[in-house]
Structure 1
Amino acid sequence: MKRAAETAGAWPFEEARKLVERLKRHPKAEVLFETGYGPSGLPHIGTFGEVARTTMVRHAFHVLTEDKVKTRLLCFSDDMDGMRKIPENVPDRAALEPYLQMPLTAVPNPFGGDYPSFGDHNNAMLRRFLDTFGFDYEFASATDYYKSGKLDAVLLRVAQRYEAIMQVMLPTLGEERQATYSPFLPISPVSGRVLYVPLKAVDAAAGTITFTDEDGVDKTVPVTGGRVKLQWKPDFGARWAALGVDFEMFGKDHQTNAPIYDRICDILDGMAPEHFVYELFLDENGQKISKSKGNGLTIDEWLTYASPESLALYMFQSPRSAKKLHFDVIPKAVDEYFNFLARYPSQDWKNRLGNPVWHIHSGNPPEIDMPVSFTMLLNLASASNTEDESVLWGFLNRHVPGVSAATHPKLAELVGYAVKYFHDFVKPNKVFRAPDEIERAALQQLDAALAALPEGAGGDDIQSALYDVARPIPRYQDLKAKGATPERPGVSVEWFNTLYQVLLGLARGPRFGSFVAIYGVAETRELIRKALAGELAA
């Protein structure tokens, strides 16, 4: 496997090979992977994506080094950041107004419960999911690291090399900001707020800074012990230097700042980690997902309608391409996961190492028999207009006799997800349209063709009948299809779109012959009757 891994084209192997080369240049006993989390709002899927993707790179690294190098994954929460604005998705926004600019771990928890602060609550939500998924990681809190002294040595080094860091930072700032900028943000002894104020003095020998506090009095405080925190750009580089981070990925919005992080890390006697820059997730309107806005999907929302594996697949695919992250991407992700899983056993090692399920399951994908697709289940629910799982099992037993929740537990999960997804997203958006005259004639011919099929006809026979009905109709002919001739044209997708829109009230659907085989020929003919009678569109 190692030989195949050395040339594997999947992006986790590309990143892992960079780490192998780094280790050759700079040997060390342990390689540290890090992910960052800003707990200013409830964690969203993008946060999970960093951990999932980093885990994939970490596993690829273990394969390349044959588990001879120890690794750790540190999930670092920037929970000492000041709350700059009140998130839109908290229960009582007004109650948080007095705590603006306070460290997130000093802001009361608006959700109540066992967690003392807003930061603690959001950290716990992230850890809960990461634990549920089974990630191997260590959680780190910036508040803990600052207050416990774990960052003291690098903070003193920042004071000693203050001017060098300022020379990096000042050219990146506007003239007004240059006049007040400092890499140190003092925590006010009076109010407890994170202060963005100019410094009056930096005493490297004493390890202190002097500034004017909110009460107008000059204060001198040590840079150690949690009395200050670093601005976010210096914080990146300082943390890398302090912890010896070897790999960290971040979103494209950080890309222009990466050279700044690297330079500061170098100034502080560290070696910048290997980077992986991923594209940002977008909501249904094409806007960047924001934790404070609460747009896009939360972790819990995805898991209401689909499995963690489908989410991991979505993270694996095309990480350098911007992708919409909304409810309508879920069915495709579910079906693609099971398609990749089905192909895995018959693949050679080269293709296995490029198969997403190898990376999702850390090299050990399960064997799962999935007789139908998630899209098929949604269309069965839509055609029968049911939210009753037993109705779907009835259709499935017609297709696969003896199938049950006991014999196919993963299928049982999918049935449960399907009825929830149907209720929340399919049913409210079903829009049947009435057929026009050409479509009415085609549906009448389809009804006759279905009636003429032998009992027990399979999906392929039904699909052939669908083609035979559409092929003579000019509207549905496709002369550009592979193997098409004027005498025997192909059938365009418009024919199947007609069936989805008129009979199911949906924009798209599964292979229609397979759908009819499971749903039933008689039941499909009843849909046609209702469509021709105007009952569906009504």
Structure 2
Amino acid sequence: MQLKPFINMTVHWADKFADKLLERGRKHVIETGTSISGIPHVGNASDVIRGDAIRKVLEEKGVKVKFIWIADDSDPFRKIPRGMESLREYLGYPVRDIPDPYGCHENFVDHFVEPFLSDLKEFGVEPRAYSGTELYRKGILYDEIKMAIKKRKEIREILNKFRKLPLNENYIPWIPICSECGKISTTRVTGWDGEDTVFYKCAGVDPASSIIKSSCAVSEDIRKALVFGCRNEGESKISEGRGKLPWRVEWAARWKHFGVTCEPLGKEHASAGGSFWTAKEICKDVFRFEPPIPVMYEFFTLNGEKISSSKGNVITLGDWLQICEPEVLKFFMYKRLMKQRDINLSAIPNLVDEYD
């Protein structure tokens, strides 16, 4: 791999993962993804840039690689990014269905995804981009959804291994979007007709940032953060894609559908009981597909603090391009994966010197 900063290293981590993948064959799919619940920042880009490093190594070895990126835009909107208080009424909605607060794009997701992908291109990173919502609404994951619901008992048993409060015997792995109020975080499945229709009630209470029982006395500030269901009882047609699989099931379904063999992921997904281990079991035992090789990494901080869209402590790829060359950030990300690193803006000149 022709990476200037590592010419004196015997083997770079990207080469090691490429060698592991070669043991599985010479056709590979590297999946990356980003939650679009706020402003995509350099931390969100880390798995994409690192996944691209592995892609380069494999292609240099003559291996056919499909490199994809999925916007997790079907997730519920649970935290309001700083400066976007006007979006409070959309708490609980799928993020894809939220309007652009600035009015320059079709919706909230497009407002952030378009510049994110454009900036990645400036870094020489060009994955095939997918919308998680479109995977459902265009029926792309339909077969995997049907399989998940038919094998709901096996999925429930796997999920319960990692839960303190077990799922009940009526569990169905589908989260409908309410046809009345448009929320996804407050619907509760009540039944399935054995074919294409799931029945639900929009009766839940979804705390946007913390778990609070609806029977508790709460302050006005806390109540403003709660998302209440509209009490509608309805039907959700799986074939119409107006809903989603729970995350751990969805992840496994995507691996199966795309034939994913490798995925970079933050260490919280791979901690004890983390979503990777659950999805891995579901992928192997339910979808009968060999799970991908994980590339685990530590998080970045910004000026010593956690990067957070809701708190406004972010630096985007576009921000970085205004102050420094893209290769310097890639060099920063190409260092040891499992070491937490701080992006200290005042120390960027030192990083440039190290790169040079």
Map of 2:115 onto structure 1: 125
SS in 2 for 1:209: strand
SS in 1 for 2:33: strand
Alignment of 1:78-89 (within 5 A): 78-88=72-82
Deviation (angstroms), 1:106: 0.9
Change (3 A) 1:156 1:176: closer
SS in 2 for 1:248: strand
Map of 1:15 onto structure 2: 17
SS in 2 for 1:75: strand
Q: Name the one with the larger strand percent.
A: 2
Q: Does 1:278 align with 2:279?
A: no
**2-structure distance, mates of 1:242, 1:160:** 17
Could you give the per-residue CA deviations for residues 163-209 of structure 1, whole angstroms, max 9, x where no partner exists?
A: 11111112323338769975311111111111344322134x41322
SS in 1 for 2:39: coil
Map of 2:37 onto structure 1: 40
Map of 1:239 onto structure 2: 254
Give the one of 313, 320, 324 matched to 1:295: 313
Map of 1:97 onto structure 2: 88
Change (3 A) 1:311 1:180: farther
CA contact (8 A) 1:255 1:277 kept: yes
Q: What amino acid sits opposite 1:167 in the alignment?
A: E
Give the one of 171, 181, 194 matched to 1:191: 181
SS in 2 for 1:188: coil
**1-structure distance, mates of 2:192, 2:296:** 35
Q: Name the one with the larger helix percent.
A: 1
Could you give the per-residue CA deviations for residues 196-250 of structure 1, whole angstroms, max 9, x where no partner exists?
A: 44322134x4132211134434322222322210122221111111211111011
**1-structure distance, mates of 2:141, 2:263:** 19
Deviation (angstroms), 1:57: 0.8
Change (3 A) 1:45 1:237: same
CA contact (8 A) 1:16 1:57 kept: yes
Give the one of 65, 82, 96 matched to 1:71: 65
Change (3 A) 1:162 1:126: same
Deviation (angstroms), 1:116: 1.1
Q: What amino acid sits opposite 1:151 in the alignment?
A: L
Could you give the per-residue CA deviations for residues 321-375 of structure 1, whole angstroms, max 9, x where no partner exists?
A: 001123134112211221xxxxxxxxxxxxxxxxxxxxxxxxxxxxxxxxxxxxx
**2-structure distance, mates of 1:176, 1:239:** 25
Map of 1:512 onto structure 2: none
Alignment of 1:300-311 (within 5 A): 300-311=318-329
Q: What amino acid sits opposite 1:232 in the alignment?
A: W
Normalising by structure 1, what TM-score? 0.56
Q: Does 1:144 align with 2:134?
A: yes
Give 5+ residue unaligned stretches, structure 1.
Answer: 339-538
Give 5+ residue unaligned stretches, structure 2.
Answer: 203-228
**1-structure distance, mates of 2:108, 2:168:** 32
CA contact (8 A) 2:117 2:126 kept: no
Could you give the per-residue CA deviations for residues 460-502 of structure 1, whole angstroms, max 9, x where no partner exists?
A: xxxxxxxxxxxxxxxxxxxxxxxxxxxxxxxxxxxxxxxxxxx
Q: Does 1:330 align with 2:332?
A: no
Map of 1:362 onto structure 2: none
Give the one of 184, 189, 192 matched to 1:202: 192
SS in 1 for 2:21: helix
Q: What amino acid sits opposite 1:74 in the alignment?
A: I
Q: Does 1:255 align with 2:270?
A: yes
Change (3 A) 1:177 1:333: farther
Deviation (angstroms), 1:14: 0.5
Deviation (angstroms), 1:284: 2.3
Give the one of 49, 60, 63 matched to 1:52: 49
Deviation (angstroms), 1:132: 2.0
CA contact (8 A) 1:180 1:197 kept: no
Let me know the Cα RMSD of the aligned residues: 2.3
SS in 1 for 2:183: coil
Deviation (angstroms), 1:13: 0.3
SS in 2 for 1:211: strand
Deviation (angstroms), 1:158: 0.9
Could you give the per-residue CA deviations for residues 407-464 of structure 1, whole angstroms, max 9, x where no partner exists?
A: xxxxxxxxxxxxxxxxxxxxxxxxxxxxxxxxxxxxxxxxxxxxxxxxxxxxxxxxxx
Map of 2:162 onto structure 1: 172
Change (3 A) 1:263 1:329: farther
Deviation (angstroms), 1:275: 0.5
**1-structure distance, mates of 2:247, 2:344:** 29
Change (3 A) 1:314 1:107: same
**2-structure distance, mates of 1:8, 1:145:** 41
SS in 1 for 2:195: coil
**1-structure distance, mates of 2:49, 2:165:** 40
CA contact (8 A) 1:86 1:96 kept: yes
Change (3 A) 1:136 1:96: closer
Q: Which has the higher contact order (CA 8 A, sep 6+)?
A: 2
Deviation (angstroms), 1:305: 1.6
